[in-house]
Amino acid sequence: MKGIWNKVLRVDLSKGTCKAEKIPDKVYEYFLGGEGLGAYFMWRESPRGTLPFDPANCLTFGAGTLNGIQQSGADKWGTTAISPSIYMNAGSAATASFGLEMKAAGYDAIVVTGRSEKPVYLVVDDDKAVLKDASHLWGKDAYEVEDAIHAAEGDKFEVASIGQAAERGVRFANIQTRKKSYCGRSGMGAVMGSKLLKAIAVRGTQEVKYHDSKELDKLNKEINRRLAIMDSQKPEWLQIKRVGTAMATELFAPQGNLPISNYRLADWPEGVKAWHASNYAKELNAKPWPCKYCVIQCHNLCEVTEGPYQFKGKGPEYESFAMMGFNTMCADVKAIAYACELADKYSMDTISLGVVIAWAMECYEKGVITKKDTYGLDLKWGNNEAVVELTKKIGLREGGLAYLLGEGCQYAAQRIGKGSEDWAVAMKGQEIAAHNWRAQYISALNYCTGVASGPNHERGNSQHIWVGHIRLPEWGIGEVENDERWSWKNAPDRNAKFHDYCNIINSAGHCKFQEFRGYTLTDLTNTLNAACGLGWNLDDLRKCGERITTLQKILNIRYGWKKEDDFKYPKRFMEPVSEGPAAGKVPVGLDQAILDYYKIRGWDSEGRPTPALLERLGMEEYAENI
Ligand code: SF4
């Protein structure tokens, strides 16, 4: 197969060794690269009974198959491991240039097992790989680590690093790269911290051979041009290039999709005004800060030069400001952007962080916790300063409430009790992101049935049929009616297709935001064929997605998933809101939709892959030891 190296770097931290391993074509034909490849290594390396912080938990940094082709968005790479929040297979993807550099160093992935005796960082410089002492970096935040490694090794290295929250086992700790992109969900940073691996620095100078470079160039030009034109035709405040995902406020508010006050409200005009894209751009002085080759350019660089919340860095994305701002009813854009910046430095996923803070605020409102528990902070809704201060305490894993919140709100609710389980907006140990189930029932189905990373908006994305107007016409998802948001008809089928689609795109290494501006499954198939010579059609593409999804399901069963887990969804989403566009809507019928989803997938009524499915996908050997 072309477009890949057939080679990964194996790092055993317990032995302190680094060596290359050859990987056969069939593995790539089945699971592509990136997170698919990571799932394969987890299957091969981490037996039943492996716990998230065990040395045997295999942490893979996988370059996307298409990393390096110079197409807009082809820079996604991902980490996979058993998650310390959901205790199942999980993947979390980022962009920037870490995957590009890993590929240029001659590796399709870096596969890390074991646990070091002392803090280390890994330096990969083309074919040379060495572990170095990181004792002097332990205790530093993730951005300080990146600076220190650049100073020691040179600016040409791309760095993936962790901060204090990841060292200290916060279960939603992330991994950052380039101070702008994050493997955010499911605690991949905490796994890295448990291995005492503070950072990886990678640099490469090698060029992989493509199947048809001329065709690839032609596709790149045509696709990049089309995406840029489509974005420029949108009104100013909906242009991703100008305001990044802050454009979502304008789209989501009329649908009742925003998370407000720990998902108790569906309307908050003051917040919608504060977090409107135009105000965001003005308050934060936002400028485009794109990834290499990207014409969509969602990332932005913000700068606040006055007042208590000064910073220069990555502007918060929709998920971040929605969970940290809307969900806590905080409308001070500068304060919340600053809190997000702190979370990024300490290595915390801002989705989970926003949910746990909102959960604590509701506990405070209801008298379940008091100022004695909150270090004197007045945790009332809308207290921007308290959100900033609590972020610091959770990030540094201070004792008491902050430590407990670092375990996630489901665990914290079990510990504190007093009814607080009822407002813990999480399932399977992971907090729910900024897409309101009442606004489109398919989001509920996505969360309950997702296998790629437990309940995760980004591993299904089916909400974007309405909120992002993404379609998969080649797989039969064309135009939809608005009212279908509250219908289960077609939802299981659409959900299955979106799960497979997300797995393919995260494994191929393509940034999903290109789809907001018209990147299609045909584009992806043509690109994979030109790069790798796969000769696939659209059905082959789907089959690859099915294989990755099936492998993840097998892994989850291996690590203890039970059918009942899919049906334990947050109580909050079954409580209707009285106002706004989703007033009175709750996803009644969800249980049957989950069972329908199992059927459509070719799973049995217990949610397990059937022998017929395994045979059709040629995956019998993968299910042998579950
Ligand atoms: S859309 Fe955003 S995250 Fe995706 S490649 Fe472009 S700048 Fe990076």
Between the CA of 67 and the centroid of ligand 1 the distance, in Å, is 13
Residue reference for tokens 């809101």? 577
Q: How many CB atoms lie within 10 A of CB 48?
A: 11
Does the pLDDT value for residue 625 go beyond 70? no
Ligand 1: lining residues by beta carbon, under 6 Å: 73, 75, 95, 290-291, 294, 296-299, 511, 513
Torsion of CA 59, 104, 541, 225, to 10 degrees: 130
DSSP 265: B
Considering only CA atoms, which residue is closest to atom 5 of ligand 1?
73
Quick one: what percent of the chain has pLDDT higher than 90?
91
Q: Above 80 in pLDDT, residue 236?
A: no
Q: How many Å lie between the centroid of ligand 1 and the Cα of residue 502?
A: 16
pLDDT over 80 at 239, yes or no: no
The pLDDT score that the predictor gives to residue 610 is 97
Q: Which atom number of ligand 1 is nearest to the Cα of residue 289?
A: 7
Mean pLDDT value of segment 515-535:
95
Instruction: Tell me the CA–centroid distance for residue 227 and ligand 1, in Å.
Output: 12
pLDDT (tens digit per residue) in 305-331: 999 999 999 999 999 999 999 999 999
Atom of ligand 1 nearest to the CA of 514: 1
Residue closest by Cα to atom 2 of ligand 1: 298
Residues 6+ apart with CB under 8 A from 587: 437, 438, 441, 444, 445, 573, 574, 593
Q: Sheet containing 120-125: which strands, arranged edge to edge?
A: 128-133, 120-125, 197-203, 158-161, 175-177, 181-183
Whether the model clears a pTM of 0.85, i.e. scores above it, the answer is yes
Q: Whose CA is nearest to atom 4 of ligand 1?
A: 511
- From the CA of 512, how far away is ligand 1's center (Å)? 8
Assess whether pLDDT exceeds 90 at residue 235.
no
Centre of ligand 1 to C-alpha 57, Å, is 30
Over 90: is that where the pLDDT of 233 sits?
Answer: no
pLDDT at 389 over 90: yes
Of 278, 356, 286, nearest to 316 by C-alpha is: 286
Ligand 1, residues 95, 181, 245: which to mutate, most atoms within 8 A of Cβ?
95
Mutate to test the pocket of ligand 1, among 69, 295, 297, 458 (most ligand atoms within 8 A of CB): 297
pLDDT class of 241 with cuts at 50, 70, 90:
confident
Interval between CA 297 and ligand 1 midpoint (Å): 5
Please report the atom of ligand 1 found closest to the CA of residue 511.
4
Q: How far is the CA of 40 from the centre of ligand 1 (A)?
A: 26
Å from CA of 546 to ligand 1 middle: 26
Among 70, 178, 230, 298, name the best residue to mutate to test ligand 1's pocket (greatest count of ligand atoms within 8 A of Cβ).
298
For residue 447, the CA-to-ligand 1 centroid distance in Å is: 24
For 146-171, write each residue's pLDDT tens digit. Answer: 999 999 999 999 999 999 999 999 99
Q: Write 236-239 long-range contacts (CB < 8 A, 24+).
A: 236/278, 237/276, 237/277, 237/278, 238/277
**DSSP code of 326?**
I
- Output the pLDDT for position 113: 98
What's the 465 CA to ligand 1 centre distance in angstroms? Answer: 20
**Ligand 1 pocket check: which of 75, 243, 320, 515 to mutate, most ligand atoms within 8 Å of Cβ?**
75
For a pocket test of ligand 1, which of 100, 242, 299 has the largest count of ligand atoms closer than 8 A to its C-beta? 299
Ligand 1: residue whose CA is nearest its atom 8: 291
pLDDT over 70 for what percent of the chain?
100
Instruction: Give me the residues paired with residue 158 across strands.
Output: 202
Distance 479 CA to ligand 1 centre (A): 26
Whether the pLDDT of residue 243 is over 90: the answer is: no
Burial class (CB in 10 A: 0-12, 13-18, 19+), 342: buried
Distance 241 CA to ligand 1 centre (A): 9
Cβ–Cβ < 8 Å for 172, 307 = no
In three-state form (DSSP H/G/I as H, E/B as E, the rest C), the secondary structure along 422-434 is: HHCCEECCEECCC
Q: What is the 3-state secondary structure (H, E, C) of 7-50?
A: EEEEEECCCCEEEEEECCHHHHHHHCCHHHHHHHHHHHHCCCCC
In a 10 Å sphere around its CB, with 0-12 CB exposed, 13-18 middle and 19+ buried, how is residue 190 labelled?
buried
What b/e string do you get for 572-595 counting C-beta neighbours within 10 Å, with b at 16 or more?
bbeeebeebbbeebbbebbeebbb
Residue 87 DSSP label: S
